[in-house]
Structure formats: structure tokens, C-alpha cells
Amino acid sequence: MLQFIIIGIIVLIVIVIFLILAKFIGIWIRARVSNAPVGLLNLVAMWIRKVPPALIVDSRITAAKAGLDFSTDQLEAHYLAGGHIDDVVLAMIAADKAAIPLAFDRACAIDLAVKGTTKTVLEAVRTSINPAVIDCPGGGGKIDAVARDGIQLRARARVTVRTNLDRFVGGATEETIIARVNEGIVTSIGSASSHKDVLENPDHISKRVLERGLDANTAFEILSIDIADVDVGDNIGATLQKSQAEADKDVAQAKAEVRRAAAVATEQEMAARTQEMRAKLVEAEAQVPMAMAEAFRSGNLGVMDYARYRNITADTEMRSSIAEEVSEDEDEDGNPHN
């Protein structure tokens, strides 16, 4: 009985081994025929590590047919890190055919860097081979800038770039390139003495912008910057001058109103003081008869003195009356009326 049990266990083990080998025999034969051999035990180990053997073998076969030799350990390590094996292999083949130096570790780093985005390492290599064109400012819009003569110009540029694989990991993206080019165009137009100079020589803008080294610390290398279109906008300088003139006018009117109010206040104050002085004069004149009566009682003023005082008063009133009549008969220039 024990012998039958042992034989059954051996048969079961053989059947399991056979099924496992049968599962990977096709992949093993395909790798062997393609001159990219992979051991059966290695395939079983991949399966145990939850690595798809077919993907690893097919990627290795693709690389081998292109003249590249990658070990299964390299491919497995990148897969377990969350990378895309097929994209990395295709990118390495494209770089090798285009004579672009690209190490496998660098390709894996780029693939992991673009994980979660719409870009791939294969796209990065293709952009390095076939440069791409970026529209600035993007979205079909234009960059607004003002020349030194106050005229607004609206420009649109096309930037030709290619991927810099050495700086792709950690380098700035396309948005940085667009922002820097926009800034450079605004600065170049703003430094132009006249908008006519820009319209006559738009290539000067692209040369100045290109000389600024805008691709520093970015994932791209700028090959050329071309001004696609330049339009004349508003006269910003005249608009600003008009606004400043209106503001100055409002300030002047406000200051004039303040001075007018101060003058009115001063006039009212002087009128009040005049009334006050007249009241004091009337008060002083009211004291004259009382003083004269006191002088009569004390003997300091006699009848003849009072008579002379009345004569002088009457003479003064007569002279004043004559002077008023003469002034009424003359005009402002001193000429008598007809």
C-alpha cells in the first residue's frame, strides 16, 4: 500500500511538472528559435515572481532582432518598478538606428519619469529624431507687446525643438519653453525704438530671443525660433497719455475747487470782521454825545466850542456830499458824462 502511495505522489509530481513545462514550452521554443534563449527554470521563476514571461521574452526577441542584447533580469527589474518594457525596447531600437547615444538605464529613467502623463519614452526619442514645433503662445493666440513708441504689436512664434535625452529627467517641460519665449518676445519688442523696426525686421526678434539660451535646464533643445505673424494693435502710448491728461485735469480741478472754497471762506470771514468793526464804530459814535454832555457839566466845553464843532461837522458833510456828486458825474476813466 505504501508503494502505491509513493508511486501516486511521484506520478502527481511528474504531471504537475509536465503541465508547468507545457505552459512555458511554447515561449521557450520561440525564444530559442529567435536566438534569444531563455531557460525554462527562468521562465518558471518569472511566473512565480508574477512577471509575465511572454512580455519579457517578446521584448527580448524584439531587441535581439534589432541587434540589441538585454538580459531578462534588466527587463524584469524595470517591469517590477512599474515601467513599460515594450516602450523602452522600441525607444532603444529607435535611438540605436538614429545613432543617438541612449543607455538602457537612461531609457528606463525617462520611462518612469513620464509615468502617469500622456507622454512616453518612445515619443521622447522620436522627438529627438524628428524635431517638434511648438506654437507660442499656444492655443492660436498672440503675444501682446508694446514698442518704445507706444504702438502695440501682436506676435505669434513657432519654436522648433528636439528632446534633450540627457536632461529629460528633471528638466523643465514645454510650458517653460513657451513662457520663456513669450517673455523674450515681449522684451525684444519693448526694447525696439519703433514698431516699424519690428515690422521691417521681425527676424531680429527671433535672433535676440534665441541668443538668450532659453532652453537651459529644460528637457528640450531649441533649434530655431521663427516669427510667424506680427500685427499692429492699439496706440497704447496715446491712450496712456490721454488717461494721464484726464487725471491731471481732475487733480487741477480739485485743487482749484479747494482754493475757491478757501477764498469764499476768507471772504465770509472778512465780511464778518467788517460787521464787527462797524458795530464797534457805532458803539464809539454813541459815546460822543455822552462825552460832550459830561464836558458841559464839568466845564471843559463851552457854548462857543460846541458851535464851532457843529460848524466843522456841517462843513465836512457838505464837502462829502459835493465829492459824491462829482464822482457820479465821471465814468471809470475819469471822463465826465455827456
Lowest-pLDDT range of 42-51, 254-263, 317-326: 317-326
Between CA 181 and CA 210 the distance in angstroms is: 9
Give the alpha-carbon dihedral of 204, 205, 211, 216, to 10 degrees. Answer: -160
3-state SS assignment for residue 138:
coil
% residues pLDDT > 70 (the chain): 91
Between CA 163 and CA 332 the distance in angstroms is: 94
Residue 335 is predicted with a pLDDT of: 57
Mean pLDDT of 294-323: 78
Beta partners for 222? 161
Mean pLDDT of 113-134: 85
Give how far Cα 28 sits from Cα of 45, 187, 282, Å. 13, 63, 134
pLDDT band at 224 (very low <50, low <70, confident <90, very high): confident
Antiparallel, parallel or unpaired: β 132-136 and 151-163: antiparallel
Cα angle 84, 89, 90 (rounded to 5 degrees) comes to 100
132 closest CA partner among 145, 119, 143: 119
Residue 172 is predicted with a pLDDT of: 79
224 closest CA partner among 199, 244, 203: 203
- Tens digits of per-residue pLDDT, 273-285? 888 888 888 888 7
Give how far Cα 68 sits from Cα of 91, 165, 247, 257, Å. 12, 19, 74, 89
Q: 135-238: which CATH topology?
A: Tetrahydropterin Synthase; Chain A (3.30.479)
- Tens digits of per-residue pLDDT, 139-178? 778 888 888 888 888 888 888 888 888 888 777 788 888 8
3-state SS assignment for residue 337:
coil
Lowest-pLDDT range of 72-76, 235-239, 249-253, 331-335: 331-335
Find out whether 232 and 152 touch, Cβ atoms under 8 Å: yes
DSSP 8-state assignment for residue 166: G
Between CA 52 and CA 122 the distance in angstroms is: 21
Find out whether 60 and 78 touch, Cβ atoms under 8 Å: no
- Tens digits of per-residue pLDDT, 34-43? 888 888 788 8
Cα angle 268, 274, 277 (rounded to 5 degrees) comes to 145
Bigger pLDDT: 82 vs 302: 82
Residue 218 is predicted with a pLDDT of: 84
Residue 222 is predicted with a pLDDT of: 86
Q: Which grid coordinates are listed for 226?
A: 521663427
Residue 68 burial (CB count, 10 A): 15
The helix (H) or strand (E) run that includes residue 253 is helix 236-298
Hey, CA dihedral for 239, 242, 248, 253, is it positive or negative? Answer: negative
At residue 331, does pLDDT exceed 60? no
Question: Which pTM does this prediction carry?
Answer: 0.59
User: Most confidently modeled of 142-151, 231-240, 297-306?
Assistant: 142-151
Between CA 24 and CA 111 the distance in angstroms is: 29
Hey, CA dihedral for 100, 106, 109, 111, is it positive or negative? Answer: positive
User: Most confidently modeled of 79-93, 161-175, 215-229?
Assistant: 79-93
Between CA 21 and CA 18 the distance in angstroms is: 5
